[in-house]
Amino acid sequence: MKNVWLAFFVSLVLAMPSWVVAGHHEAGDVHLPVGHMWKHGALDEQKWMEMVQTYTPEQAGEWKKVLDERNALREQFKDKKVKQAMKEKHKQLKKEREAALDRLIDQLADKKITKEQFKQELKQLHKKKRWMTKEEKKQLHMLHEQTRQAMENNDQEAMKKLLPQWLEYMKKENERLAKCLQEVKQG
């Protein structure tokens, strides 16, 4: 019986890639260009600028500035010293979180805090390690989806409204990256 299940599992695993590929092609290739532009450095810059020139050409200069800043920040993160500093900072933050968790567990064990207080503190501790809140992730996902739909439907009015939102998002992201880089270099 064990061999039957093993054979079934192996055949399932071997068949899975064909399901994934078949499902992807049934949905159409429309998703590829949209998602593709967010995954690669130079290529996505080209796609963004093409869209900007098409839908909001008056913002092209601002977009170019933001994308250039983004590339400069990315290059700084590739530096070996910065990478090493980031590893050290990560280790330090991990130790701090572990120590804070140990203190929380001790407080709970010593009945200095209630289970509810423990859960709240744990939730706060968990939030500190994220760079994006759930609400921000939800908004970004919504912006991705709206952009994808607007591109699929060739909705020029929607794109004219969405591109300025993307520009603001990228400005904030550049600020976050610059702040992170500054903290790493100081720390």
Q: Structure tokens of 41?
A: 């450095």
Q: Over range 113-130, report the average pLDDT.
A: 81
Least confident among 36-45, 53-62, 151-160: 36-45
Q: How far apart are CA 129 and CA 125, in angstroms?
A: 7
Provide the 10 A C-beta neighbour count for residue 100: 15
In whole angstroms, give the CA distance from residue 163 to residue 63: 10
* Residue 134 binned pLDDT confidence (cut-offs 50, 70, 90): confident
- The rounded distance, in Å, linking the Cα atoms of 167 and 59 is 9
**Mean pLDDT value across the chain:** 78
Average pLDDT over residues 77-91: 88
CA dihedral 135, 36, 84, 86 (to 10 degrees): -10
What pLDDT shows up at residue 166? 94
pLDDT > 80? residue 16: no
Q: What percent of the chain has pLDDT over 90?
A: 32
Structure confidence at residue 128 (pLDDT): 65
pLDDT tens string 66-79: 999 999 998 998 88
| pTM for this predicted structure | 0.65
How big is the CA angle at 179 (ends 177 and 182), to the nearest 5 degrees?
110
Q: Which residues touch 81 (CB under 8 Å, ≥6 apart)?
A: none
Tell me, what amino acid is at 31? H
